Amino acid sequence: MNKPILVVIPYCSQGAQGRELEYAVAGWRRHFKEDYLIVLAGEGHPVTKTGDDICCVESKRVDPVDGQYRQHLDYVSCFRKVRKAFPESEGFIFVADDCYAVNDFTLDDVKILKALPNDIFATANPFNGWEVDVVNTRSLLLREGYPIRNFTTHLPQWYEWDKLEALWEKYDMDHVSRVMEDLYYNIYFKGQEPFRLSEDDRFKCGIYRRGANMDRVKEAFEKKIWITNSPIGWSEELDKLLSEYYGI
């Protein structure tokens, strides 16, 4: 008997703006056409409906480290605890709590190699930990002869434990923060050309600025698999649309 697919959602209660986690869970329940187990990994019990298809793995936030991006260190810490809790699993899907499925999909849809249209680029702003990690990760890839395609898609991604743990060890990622998805997919899929995401694809409608075109978002419920948002893209109108769609 096949084991359920682990769907790991890291969460941080301080970062929640609304009911993103509830909508994310509702999307997996309604539209993922596989046997799955949702694993919520983070600190404190999140506010969402429980059931046989969902569990929590407690993972306290790591202490801040000067010069390192805390969220990326948190991811490694969270995932290590999930690995310990499910030692026989071969891999897992990593997804954020602000990614909402609105049409049916399978594991094959998740595993399609997807990248943003432009390669990795950022300026080394010392006051922005994310940008510092992007620059450092890009430099590492170039130094070691790997491509610099941008896999920070904000979509669900499949990871094999053995490959991921090898990266953590090689690059000391428990202590040195890096953009995990860019390392993993550029290194292990070096010779494979990814699908480049665009406004016209069937995968994602991303809301990453204030005052987004809500007509485009409404169309996404018919045409896209996932709707995603950044903190700045969250709005009362988006909340209302998702609440009406999921009936919660």
pLDDT confidence tier of residue 220, bands split at 50, 70 and 90: very high
Between CA 46 and CA 239 the distance in angstroms is 18
**pTM for the predicted model, two decimal places:** 0.95
- Going by C-alpha positions, the residue among 216, 209, 217 that lies closest to residue 239 is 217
Backbone angles phi, psi at 143, to 5 degrees: -60, -35
Among 91, 118, 119, 127, residue whose Cα is nearest residue 7: 91
CATH class of 5-197: alpha beta
Q: What's the token pair of residue 89?
A: 């699993």
Residue 79 tokens read as: 């995932």
Pair of tokens at residue 41 = 């990994």
Q: Residue 125 — pLDDT band, cuts 50, 70, 90?
A: confident
* Dihedral sign computed on CA atoms, order 18, 21, 22, 23: positive
Question: Mean pLDDT over residues 126-152, rounded?
Answer: 95
Amino acid 7: pLDDT: 98
Once rounded to an integer, what is the mean pLDDT over residues 198-205? 96
